[in-house]
Structure 1
Amino acid sequence: MAIPVAAAWAVTAVMIGMPGVLPWAVGALVALAVGTAVLGRRWRWLLVVSLACATAAVPVSLAAAQAGARHPAALVEAARAGRQVTVLLVVDETMRDGHPFAATLTDASFGETALSASVPIAVFPQRGEVVQRAAIGSTVSARGVLVAEDPGESAAFRFFVSGDQRVVRGPPWFLAWADGLRADFRRLVADLPGDGARLLPGLSIGDTSAVTDELDASMKASSLTHLTAVSGANCAVIIALVMLAGARLGLPRGGRIGISLVVLLGFVVLVTPEPSVLRAAVMAGIVLAALASGRPTRGLPVLALAVIVLLIVDPWLARSYGFALSVLATGGLLLLARPLAGALARWLPMPLAVALSVPLAAQLACQPVLILLNPSIPTYGVIANVLAEPAAPVATVLGLVACVLAPWVPPLAHLVAAIAWVPSAWIAAVAGFFAGLPGNALAWPGGVVGVVLIGVMSALVMMLALGVGGRRGRRVFGVLVAASSVGYLGVVAGDHVRGELSRPADWQIAACDIGQGDAVLVRSLGTVALIDTGPDPKLLSGCLDTLGISRIDLLVLSHYDLDHVGGTPAVFGRVDRALLGPVADKNDQRLADDLAAHGAAVEHVSKGMTGVLGELGWEVLWPKAKLAGVQPGNDASVTLRFRGVGACAGGCLSALFLGDLGEQPQTLLMAANRLDHVAVVKVAHHGSADQNERLYGAISADVGVIGVGADNDYGHPTDALLGILRSSGTAITRTDLQGMVLISARVDGGETIWTERSPPGDRLSRH
């Protein structure tokens, strides 16, 4: 079954991106299935082709039936026009503060138009508490702007909330029950210390709402994120415990299987139906059904059957990275773990060989997809998994027990949770240790080239490890692996040298590549200003070290969102003066206090404040001292303008830094200031759709800098923003595609732009 299902998966992934040809594709697949079945009487291999076409026809036909309903014409038109839409939506997943969440749009109205639908959307909430508290299954009323997604995306639209958000109806009883259990468990572990407490709900029930961005980054860097994604191991443990307990109680096999199915269903509701959960649950259900019928099962056919069942239920899973990683990891364990353990046992004790084979098999199977998400290879991933994996089942089982006991016997639940905290804290410590080691990730080419290269390297390593071709084969594959490794190291070293030699020394503005966030440096006569610090101290430190920056004369924190201030610890003790915006709560004030404690002169600024950095004069344009109707946060971002002064008035680059201002505060900014041409603009809010086109036209910047992370969940930068920049004649630079961006002033006017991931020595000039 694996070959036809894999082919059907690939066909579905391609076809859902082309809704116009879906009906024709169904007809072609059916015709091919029939034709190859007839010819299969003579050529048996065509029967596999026939089965693959017939299998693919089912999810593709269902996708064709749903395509129109996913993009109602009225909603598409509203999205194109940028109209404010009032919607009712049902929350589909647990929310994390500041992160988008999946929902289903059920009703929409704008102007005289009203419609009912069932449309999957990704919601980007406004700063506020009401939507953040909405449980899964709740119905929420909100007002905002829709942006249509590509047909192949799991969400048909992105919805940016702008106001009037409220919960109008709670979840159904069974979802309310699960939400109550999750909430009780979160409260239960809240008083446990450190990252172990934050990680425990994720390990036990897949609830990562308490996981900080720093901890999440550490888990990703050490290849341990999969431990917080409920998977087959969790389901297997739960079912095994139920079956064992039933056997001890003398229940017949049918009774044990029936109870196991009920418990499995309740477990899925509790941990929420993420793609990995659905894959694991369907596989468990198939195994239980086979067990009830007395038939034996094998892992790969069960996996293949689960995949096609889920693609029939939701064809758009074909393009889900989470679904792909879950299936590939399971397939890797089924196909590779045992032969790898046997191969490793030739040099290692069997227990250690088995322990190494499991993460190695999963890593080899998943790495091509991981390269698409992040073009790098975790150096210590396998070792980190070997150390962390033994603790995961203990934390999972004990945490789940504590979760179930929490509403009924809180003292006992707290005791069990405290015991579960120990392995959870160990896993968090392992993640933090390996994430903090130097060289924890090896650079790798991105895109299709990177996928092909990692696929070839993985195949060579597998053939070498499994001893394909005997002694001679091991020698050949060993030489190929060694040659490939040397070639890779040579390319990496050469790229590093190229960067060092080609990087301009006379840069005035530098945008650091720190993922989804902002960290931009301005330099003049040896003095340096840093506007925002990005989400991660390590990434900021790497950028500063690369540019040789040891001291920050002026630090500006536009506002207190993590993607703008998370890296601040990297500059503690290195800042002379810090300019901060309005404080919203004690956490914001704590950051100001920490800067002061490390020797910085801290000032809370407002419109009208001025100063000098070398030959550049700077001026605060926003926010006003009295913020009528503007809350601290994005809309109160400190907005700074730099201009040359004295002899440098005509020769230095002028720049405008817009923080995360949205369209309304941009309008207020224009009303409060006279804005004219600048050489460089730091684009607001990472290129979101919430922009004022007139502002960008007024400044007519030569260069626009967008600090944005690759494959971010927000859809930044949006096509609308990119269109605004192009219509203003602004050259676009973005850190997700080009890495670090350095901008220098030309003697004869204009700018020279250097980007880290441009061709060697590429220097783009503008006049």
Structure 2
Amino acid sequence: MLAAIVAGVVVRCSRTRGAERGGLVIVVLAAAAAVATTACLAMPAREAVREREAFAVEVVADVSSSASVGKDGRLWFEAQSRSIESAKGTAAVSAPVRIGVEPAEGVDLGATIRVTGQMEATDPGERSAAVVFASEPEIVRPASGVFAVAAGARSAFIERATRLPEPGAGLLPGLAVGDTRAVSDALNDDMRTSGLSHLTAVSGANCAIVVAAAFWLVALCGGGRRLRVVVAALALAGFVVLVTPEPSVIRAAVMAGVAMFTVLLGRPSAGAGMLALCATGILVADPWLAATAGFALSVAASGALILLAPPLARGLARWMPQPLALAISVPLAAQLACGPIIALFAEQQSLVGIAANLLAAPAAPIATVIGLLACLAAPFPMLADLLAASAWLPAAWISVTATVSARLPLAQASLVPGIGSAVLVAVLSAALGIIVRGRRGTSGVGGRRGRWFSWTYRVAAVVLIVALSLGGAHLALQGPLAAMAAPSGWSIAACDVGQGDALLVRSEGEVALIDTGPEPGPLGDCLRSLGIDRIDLLVLTHFDLDHVGGADAVRGRVDAVLHGPVVEAEEQRILDGLGAGGAAVTEATAGMRGTLGASTWRVLWPLRESAVFPSGNDASVVMEVSGGGVPLSLYLGDLSAEAQRMLARNARLAGPYDVVKVAHHGSADQDPAIYETIRPAIAVFSAGIDNDYGHPRAETLDLLTAVGAHVLRTDRQGRILLGIDDGRIAVWTESDVGAPE
């Protein structure tokens, strides 16, 4: 009915002036109304789920997506609830929920499960109405039919692929069937940095590869255009079933299907209209996809390939052979269109994405197609092994490409996510697109329109020149010229890494780093600004994220590591990574001593095999450093007041100290007596701006001021440098905002 009304109105408008604009407005309003109607119809069920927030629940649900292991170690998947039982009673509710369970077998698409756990409502804009944190699931009914066959084929292929050597083994299931559970965190980060992460997700690229392979095979057999499209559609449908037809996969398949329909119609120019129609249909079916970055990126990338890639290829052809211009135009168009969207939520923009995609592009379809054949050949083990081994080589190439390109200087640029960054990236992308396209095509365009084209080109050139100049100056100051801007006499540095610790001690060219902050980026910037390439001694006081999260910034650049007690497997993995990079790893205990250049250090805490403080904040490594041009300094980690009292009773504190790194970023949990004993001349607080904890606390600042300490704070003054100048403590800070008199 709605379609008939819209069609009638559009026909009516076509007889009047401005028919195109009127018709477009009506279609847009009708689509918006349809989307709103779908959302309204789904609200009662979603509200019924939300009413059970914070309740212990028993949920019976049908699994509707593939499962992946999250950072918390749980197996996460989407499901459609059937019933929810809580203290409010049992209700038959059908709504999308996201469930996290202990790793278990049988959680496959199409299976019905029962879980017991805690339910938390999500924001209204999220696709899942609630998140359920559950224990081990009960399989009420296993997957059946084609879903069971697909699950078995995937499992057999993943087991076969992961028996192959690295690099490449863990990546192969992601390339072929979209299963990324075997991809390591390090490789996943490298894929993201190098702009290759779309290859491991089931994206439009994977679907396009399947479609292209089917087209080529039918064409090789002499089939016509219609037969090619039909076979490709069937191949795409089978691929969707194999990799699980969850919303993101269906979205990608629909986008790839746009190209097939334009070929069937014999009108490639209709691609934009077909894309708009498909995007509208997807939103009508599932309005919540409008709030997901994946949907926006899919539409933007597909639109860029249809509308932007051809003019970019023509522009690039002025400087290079046509085939190379076509190859470069595809990732360039996608990068220019997707960059502003990525800037809305990501803190980094890949600067090597185009080059990395060009290198990986030849290998991706080979790994995907042969990997799929290996998956389908599961009933024939010898053939499946041969195909998996053949697919391993291109997968290894992609893995190495991601790792090498991610390690290149300037592989990515850091941005603050948000509207401002998106606008900035959009302006730069538009300017680059205009310059690459060039003036070609404007010849013969005269009058006002010709002048507009000319001015647009000039403005784009100015924008790029200014951006390159500012970027080059920033890189020079952060790179080769960084060390020249820092004073040469520093011996202690408190890096500004946000809410976390990262302190450097230097004596006669040797450097110790005490903790690494929460992220690699800020620590890497600090090291570059001080001209430090290698760490002689790395001290990990304990394994909270704000103290070890930046360890990747120094992996492979450390000679020795001292660390606090290890409890969890993830903590051991951090140490194993540092050890693999060539560092000698040792657990620190009170009484250890050593030298750093001409200075000496000693460990004061934790006590060996302490049963009172076995791990965590109160088992933080506490160090004292003195001599060799280093002020007498004490680094208290994250000790609480109780642990501080034990430290004062068991260690021979050599106060008064010149410099003390105040415990736990200046939390309120401090022992006044220890600060009365050590009486620091300078108290350093390492904390982030506007952190949720209120660090440093006012009472702690008052405590240190009362014992005569000069307070220095990274949240107010940025990076802090300390040294000895003519027997006195010299202080250099990036800013004096909020500094005491």
Q: Is TM more than 0.5 here?
A: yes
| 3-state SS, counterpart of residue 713 of structure 2 | strand
Quick check: 1:422 aligned with 2:393?
yes
Match of 1:752 in 2: 713
AA paired with 2:78? A
Q: Which of 417, 432, 436 lines up with 1:465 in the alignment?
A: 436
Which of 350, 359, 382 does residue 331 from structure 2 map onto?
Answer: 359
Residue pair 1:704, 1:730 contacting (<8 A) in 2 also: no
Separation in 2 of the partners of 1:581 and 1:171? 40
Say yes or no: does 1:432 pair with 2:403. Answer: yes
Equivalent of residue 153 in structure 1, options 126, 129, 138: 126
1:323 alignment partner in structure 2: 295
Q: Which residue does 1:713 correspond to in 2?
A: none
Residue 336 of structure 1: which of 293, 304, 308 is its match? Answer: 308
Q: Residue 447 of structure 1: which of 418, 439, 444 is its match?
A: 418
Q: For residue 168 of structure 2, what is the aligned residue in structure 1?
A: 196
- Give the aligned partner of residue 404 of structure 1: 376
**1:182-240 residue CA offsets vs partner (Å, 9 max, x unmatched):** 11111111222212222222221222221112212222222222222333443344345
- Please, which of 563, 568, 592 is the counterpart of residue 578 of structure 1? 563
- Amino acid of the structure 2 residue aligned with 1:217: D
What secondary structure does 2:93 align onto? strand
* TM-score, structure 2 normalization: 0.72
Change over 3 Å in CA distance of 1:756–1:199 after alignment to 2: farther
Distance 2:273 2:705 in 1: 59
SS of the aligned residue for 2:68 comes to coil
- 1:277-299 deviation digits (Å, cap 9, x = unpaired): 32342245567678889998832
Structure 2 distance, partners of 1:258, 1:192, is 36
Structure 1 position 681 matched with structure 2 position 664: yes
Q: Contact (CA 8 Å) 2:516, 2:549: kept in 1 or not?
A: yes
Partner of 2:318: 346
Over 3 Å counting, the alpha-carbon distance change for 1:247 and 1:35 in structure 2 is: closer
Is the Cα contact below 8 Å between 2:161 and 2:388 reproduced in 1?
A: yes
State the Cα distance separating 1:129 from its structure 2 match: 3.7
Aligned to 1:7: none
Range 750-759 or range 190-199, more displaced: 750-759
Q: Which consecutive unaligned segments of at least 5 residues does structure 2 have?
A: 444-449, 595-599, 627-631, 649-660, 673-683, 720-732
Contact 1:36/1:50 (<8 A) preserved: no
2: CA distance, partners of 1:574 / 1:334: 52
User: Any gaps of 5 or more consecutive residues in structure 1?
Assistant: 1-29, 659-667, 684-695, 708-716, 732-742
Q: Which residue of 2 aligns with 1:656?
A: 638
Distance in 2 (alpha carbons) for counterparts of 1:744 and 1:612: 31
Look up the SS of the partner of 2:714 in the other structure. strand
Aligned partner of 1:57 in structure 2 is 33
- The structural deviation recorded for 1:636 is 7.0
Deviates most, 338-347 or 457-466: 457-466
Q: Between Structure 1 and Structure 2, how many residues are aligned?
A: 666
Change (3 A) 1:58 1:567: same
1:67 match: 43
In the alignment, the residues of structure 2 paired with residue 321 and residue 228 of structure 1 have an alpha-carbon distance, to the nearest angstrom, of 16
8 Å CA contact 1:218, 1:432 repeated in 2 = yes
Is 1:234 the equivalent of 2:206? yes
Distance in 2 of aligned mates of 1:476 and 1:260: 46
1:90-129 alignment runs, 5 A limit: 90-91=62-63, 92-96=65-69, 98=71, 101-104=76-79, 106=81, 107-111=83-87, 113-123=89-99, 128-129=102-103
Query: 2-side partners of 1:599 and 1:427: how far apart?
Result: 28
Hey, what's the Cα distance between the residues in 1 that align with 2:47 and 2:227? 45
Q: Is the 8 A contact 2:497 2:688 kept in 1?
A: no
Deviations 1:134-178 (A, max 9, x none): 3344455555444433211233334445xx433333542133322
Displacement of 1:679 in angstroms is: 5.7
Structure 2 CA distance for aligned equivalents of residues 201 and 270 of structure 1? 12
Amino acid at match of 1:366: C
Counterpart of 1:484 in 2: which secondary structure? helix
Q: Provide the rounded CA distance (Å) in 2 between the counterparts of 1:188 and 1:73.
A: 40
CA contact (8 A) 1:333 1:358 kept: yes
Q: Does structure 1 retain, via aligned residues, the 8 Å contact 2:431–2:461?
A: no
- Structure 1 pair 271–747 and aligned structure 2 pair: CA distance change class (3 A): farther
Question: 1:488 maps to what in 2?
Answer: 467
- Shifted more, 428-437 versus 373-382: the winner is 373-382
For 1:766 and 1:112, the matched residues in 2 are separated by: 57
Q: Deviations over 1:14-71 (max 9, x none)?
A: xxxxxxxxxxxxxxxx99x989988995643233212211111111221122234324
Distance 1:54-1:443 versus aligned 2 partners, 3 A rule: same
CA distance in 1, matches of 2:380, 2:309: 41
C-alpha distance in 1, partners of 2:261/2:669? 67
Q: Conserved in 2, the CA contact under 8 Å of 1:371 and 1:446?
A: yes
Q: Distance in 2 between matches of 1:557 and 1:418?
A: 44
How far apart, in 2, do the equivalents of 1:274 and 1:757 lie?
Answer: 46
Tell me: CA distance 1:457–1:564, structure 2 relative to 1, closer, same or farther (3 Å): closer
**Local SS of the residue matching 2:136:** strand
Tell me if 1:265 matches 2:257: no
Query: Hey, what's the Cα distance between the residues in 2 that align with 1:89 and 1:576?
Result: 48
Identity across the alignment (%): 30
Residue 479 to residue 295, structure 1, CA distance change in 2 (3 Å): closer
1:545 CA displacement: 3.9
The answer for the alignment partner of 2:358 in structure 1 is: 386
Contact kept in structure 1, 2:315 and 2:436, CA below 8 Å: yes
Offset of 1:85 from its aligned partner?
4.5
Q: 1:600 to 1:397 in 2, by over 3 A?
A: closer
Partner of 1:166: 137
> Any conservation in 2 of the 1:182–1:403 contact (CA below 8 Å)?
yes
Secondary structure at 1:574 match in 2 = strand
Compute the displacement of 1:243 (Å). 6.0
- In structure 2, give the amino acid aligned to 1:153: E
1:320-352 CA-partner distances (Å, limit 9, x unpaired)? 111111111111111111221112112211111
Cα distance change, pair 573–342 in 1 and its aligned pair in 2 (3 A): closer
Deviation at residue 475 of structure 1 after TM alignment: 6.6
Task: Write the mapping of 1:719-738 to structure 2, written as runs, cut at 5 A.
Answer: 725=693
Structure 1 residue matching 2:620: 3-state secondary structure: strand
**Alignment counterpart, residue 514 of structure 2, candidates 530, 539, 546:** 530
Verify: 1:602 aligned to 2:578, yes or no: no
Report the Cα distance in structure 2 between the residues aligned to 1:62 and 1:622, rounded to whole angstroms: 63
- Equivalent residue for 1:220? 192
Given that 2:540 and 2:621 are in contact with CA atoms closer than 8 Å, whether structure 1 keeps it comes out as no
Query: What does the per-residue CA deviation read over 1:473-523, in whole Å, with 9 as the maximum and x for residues that have no partner?
Result: 78755543443234224544666759987999797754647xxxx973246
Q: Shift of residue 368 of structure 1?
A: 0.8
Q: Which amino acid aligns with 1:59?
A: V
Cα pair distance change 1:394/1:601, threshold 3 Å: closer
AA at the equivalent of 1:656: D
Verify the 8 A CA contact 1:744 1:752 in the aligned structure 2: no
**d(CA) in 2 for partners of 1:706 and 1:110?**
41
For 1:124 and 1:746, how far apart are their aligned partners in 2?
A: 50
> For residues 482 and 621 of structure 1, do their structure 2 counterparts lie closer, same or farther at Cα, with a shift above 3 Å needed?
farther
Q: Give the AA of the match of 1:63.
A: A
**Alignment RMSD (CA, Å):** 5.5
Give the partner amino acid of 1:148. A
Q: Which amino acid aligns with 1:167?
A: E
Measured in 2, the distance between the counterparts of 1:592 and 1:534 equals: 19
The answer to whether the 8 A contact 2:438-2:457 is kept is no
Residues 242 and 260 of structure 1 are in contact (CA less than 8 Å); yes or no, is this contact kept in structure 2? Answer: yes
2:538–2:560 Cα contact (<8 Å) kept: yes
Aligned equivalents of 1:457 and 1:596: distance in 2? Answer: 40
Query: Which letter does structure 1 place at the counterpart of 2:620?
Result: L
Distance in 2, Cα, partners of 1:268 & 1:746: 68
The Cα of 1:95 is off from its aligned counterpart by 0.9
